[in-house]
Amino acid sequence: MAVKRGTDRETDVPTNPQIDAEIKQDIAIERHDIGKPEKPVHALASMLGPAFVAAVAYVDPGNVAANLTSGAEYGYLLVWVLVVANCMSVLIQYQAAKLGIVTGKSLPQILGERMGTGGRFLFFVQAEVIAIATDLAEVIGGAIALNLLFGMPLLVGGLVIGAVSTLLLLFQGGETHKIFERLTIGLLLVITFGFIAGLFFDPPNPLQVAGGLVPRFQGSGSVLMAASMLGATVMPHAIYLHSTLVNDHFGHGANRPGVREMLHGSKIDVVWALVIAGSVNIALLVLAANSLYGMTDTDTIEGAQHAIATVFGPVVGTAFSVGLLASSLSSTSVGTYAGSEIIKGLLKVRVPMWACRVATLVPALVVLACADNPTQALIIGQVVLSVGIPFAIVPLMRYTHDRALMGKYVDGPVKHWVCMAVMVLIVALNAVLIALTCMGK
């Protein structure tokens, strides 16, 4: 096959329709990859950012509740769950980025193009339920943080979180998108420091932490907790959004790198971002297992913060609260951004960002006003997220193995089987979660 750059002429195209379609796809992608001859080689730093924004979803207040509860109740038992979940997250988020880079479209867009009207609407409904569950965790966590820092009532704190996160969203998209990325990454650094500060004052025993790497459970309660942790670690809306972020990062300018260059940069972006997010999650569990295990009243964020302040002092307790606040503000902004992209891709309509913000904020405010134990509602929200994971992962793995869609960048057989194994593992764990929940366990 010969392709003359800069024109639309192709030669030596086979007459077989299937091969013809595949080659045309490869030609289109190759042109996207090559770009203009004068296009400069991009520095790696210019391609970093999308994965860090997506990674914020992996350190939201839902993670705080699930990981602290796990460490306080089961010690180091479920460290392996976080390690496995984080490894799967690296693979999943790279696949989401790869789909967006190669096709130039988000996962919701591709779903919207390939599903009928009824299917698109039903898929949107489940995605919106997941978005509400996501925002439930994030707004509740922020309200608790404001209550711990300033004594602010939970409902008022929820309103403040909603207002400030909406202001952050004003920077999303267009020429100010890079500002949104930098603000989100800055909040991620605050989260990291706030949640790991206690480990410097009371380092854990490395051998005990290593013992938690052995896969095992301890009763049905630990299985339910593992599923909740998985729901807090592998985030459906982060999968939907990452395929959008890789394209929004460069906007519509002419200085976009080629496909091959972007894929290389995205690998590094995803690994760095998810290593940071995964380390924060593991640090939270280890902190609770090392310093809070056996203590009473640590099954709520407020109780865990009080215990941390008692063990380490008020400075570390305040740092934890600040980290929780930063986690809420950043993750709820990213969640709303994802929700708007899901609506645009599936329903093919543009909804104002403030409307997306209100749609998911109101249920969280209702819970804050009515629930006796907001942290418990937060844990339940993570279980709901876990149920929604297959709806994002299954089409993602299917599309990245579709040669007609991905051309020469289609997943090879080995990688496809690894992806399938990850998908089956997650779906199986979710089936166990649903069974245990239905049995009241």
Which of the two residues, 286 and 183, has the higher pLDDT score? Answer: 286
Q: Which domains does the chain have, with CATH numbers?
A: 1-37 (no CATH), 58-438 (1.20.1740.10)
The mean pLDDT value for 370-385 works out to: 72
Can you tell me the distance from the alpha carbon of 168 to that of 332, in angstroms, rounded to the nearest whole number?
10
Task: Please give the C-alpha separations between residue 270 and each of 87, 98, 315, in angstroms, as whole numbers.
Answer: 11, 11, 32
Which pTM does this prediction carry?
0.84
**pLDDT attached to residue 201:** 86
Can you tell me the distance from the alpha carbon of 84 to that of 226, in angstroms, rounded to the nearest whole number?
11
Assess contact for 55 and 96: CB atoms under 8 A: no
Can you tell me the distance from the alpha carbon of 333 to that of 340, in angstroms, rounded to the nearest whole number?
11
The mean pLDDT value for 365-388 works out to: 75
Which of the two residues, 382 and 133, has the higher pLDDT score? Answer: 133
Summarised one tens digit per residue, pLDDT across range 256-305 is 788 899 999 999 999 999 999 999 999 999 999 998 887 877 777 888 88
Can you tell me the distance from the alpha carbon of 65 to that of 222, in angstroms, rounded to the nearest whole number?
15
Quick check: helix, strand or coil at residue 3?
strand
Summarised one tens digit per residue, pLDDT across range 29-83 is 554 544 444 444 556 667 778 888 888 888 888 778 788 888 989 999 999 999 9
Which of the two residues, 397 and 33, has the higher pLDDT score? Answer: 397
CA angle, residues 351, 354, 356, in degrees to nearest 5: 55
- 438, pLDDT greater than 90: no
What type of residue sits at position 276?
A: I
Task: Please give the C-alpha separations between residue 103 and each of 33, 124, 282, 405, 409, in angstroms, as whole numbers.
Answer: 11, 21, 34, 7, 10
- 250, pLDDT greater than 60: yes
Which of the two residues, 67 and 253, has the higher pLDDT score? Answer: 67
